């Protein structure tokens, strides 16, 4: 094939990685006419025709319609038209990717809720939007905590090494104080946004600071005593984007079943508990 200057329909299709039917179809659509015919009437194509076919196939793979491709091939301003069509196609693909990414994020969130809670706590569009916002806020909080933690390590380790090398120790206790303050700030900040779901009675509550600090925990759970039913178990954490309006040790309105006076007072006030 490399020594030949002309191709039959089948040879052209094989050289360009497509089918004979595709070559014939493009011929019918006036996109790829043969450059000549053999003595027996068979269509013959040149290297230029092969290049044109490869160009057509490339544009088709990019999602352009045959009418658009034909306009490009026939226009003297081929480059400008192609650039405009490719820009339009790129914008369409970006919009599709954004929609697909949002759909994928919703699927991942629902799978997370199903595995964690055993059901979908949020089914409406507004509730799903809130859950998505909560998840993003939690990820931001984790990022901030990691960055602050790195600086905390740099502060106390750096001043310790500096004290050992130079004999100047006053920066070290100062760094420890700053590290302690930063640590307390992170804990208080996180605790103000987190509630815990009791697996026994399904009450959702905010824990007090000391139990929060000493409780065993995993990535999504913490071993706490429910203020509603008194059960101590691994409670599922829920991080809210907005600071909670309930006090530490109280239950979220509508989730407490113990008829505790505090919970009833909060529930009677109504409104959003966040």
Q: Are residues 129 and 63 in the same domain?
A: no
Q: Is residue 58 in a domain?
A: yes
Q: Is residue 113 in a domain?
A: no
pTM score of the predicted model: 0.53
Q: Is residue 15 in a domain?
A: yes
How far is the CA of 203 from the CAs of 114, 161, 228, 239, in angstroms? 18, 49, 7, 15
**Domain boundary residue, one of 74, 96, 115:** 74
Q: Are residues 135 and 34 in the same domain?
A: no
How far is the CA of 167 from the CAs of 154, 161, 162, in angstroms? 18, 10, 8
Q: Are residues 262 and 154 in the same domain?
A: yes
The boundaries of the domain holding residue 27 are 6-74
Q: Are residues 151 and 253 in the same domain?
A: yes
Exposure of 132 by Cβ count < 10 A (0-12 exposed, 13-18 middle, 19+ buried)? Answer: middle
The tally of domains found in the chain comes to 2
* Helical packing angle, 66-74 and 78-117, nearest 10°: 150
Sheet with 36-37, side-by-side order of all strands:
6-7, 43-46, 36-37
Determine the Cα–Cα distance for residues 21 and 100; give it in Å rounded to an integer. Answer: 34
Note down pLDDT in tens along the chain; length 274 residues: 344 578 999 999 999 999 999 999 999 988 898 988 888 888 999 999 998 999 899 888 888 888 888 888 888 887 887 787 788 888 888 888 887 887 787 777 777 777 666 666 656 667 777 778 888 888 898 899 899 889 999 999 999 999 999 988 999 999 999 999 998 888 888 988 998 988 888 888 998 888 888 888 887 888 999 888 888 988 888 888 898 888 888 888 887 766 444 444 444 444 444 4
């Amino acid at each position: 094939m490399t020594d030949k200057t002309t191709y039959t329909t089948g040879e052209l299709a094989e050289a360009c990685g497509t089918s004979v039917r595709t070559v014939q179809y493009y011929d019918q659509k006036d996109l790829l006419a043969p450059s000549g015919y053999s003595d027996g009437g068979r269509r013959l194509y040149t290297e230029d025709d092969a290049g044109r076919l490869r160009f057509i196939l490339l544009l088709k793979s990019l999602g352009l319609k045959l009418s658009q491709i034909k306009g490009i091939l026939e226009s003297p301003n081929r480059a400008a038209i192609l650039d405009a069509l490719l820009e339009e196609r790129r914008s369409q693909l970006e919009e599709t990717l954004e929609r697909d990414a949002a759909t994928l994020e919703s699927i991942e969130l629902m799978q997370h809720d199903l595995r964690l809670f055993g059901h979908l706590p949020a089914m409406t569009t507004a509730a799903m939007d809130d859950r998505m916002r909560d998840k993003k806020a939690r990820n931001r909080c984790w990022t901030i905590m990691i960055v602050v933690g790195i600086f905390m390590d740099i502060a106390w380790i750096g001043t310790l090494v500096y004290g050992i090398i130079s004999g100047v120790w006053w920066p070290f206790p100062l760094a420890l104080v700053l590290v302690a303050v930063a640590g307390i700030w992170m804990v208080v900040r996180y605790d103000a946004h987190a509630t815990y779901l009791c697996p026994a009675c399904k009450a959702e509550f905010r824990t007090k600071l000391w139990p929060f600090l000493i409780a065993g925990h995993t990535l999504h759970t913490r071993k706490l005593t429910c203020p509603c039913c008194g059960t101590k178990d691994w409670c599922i954490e829920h991080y809210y984007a907005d600071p909670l309006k309930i006090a530490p040790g109280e239950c979220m309105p509508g989730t407490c079943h113990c008829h505790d006076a505090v919970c009833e007072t909060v529930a009677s006030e109504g409104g959003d508990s966040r």
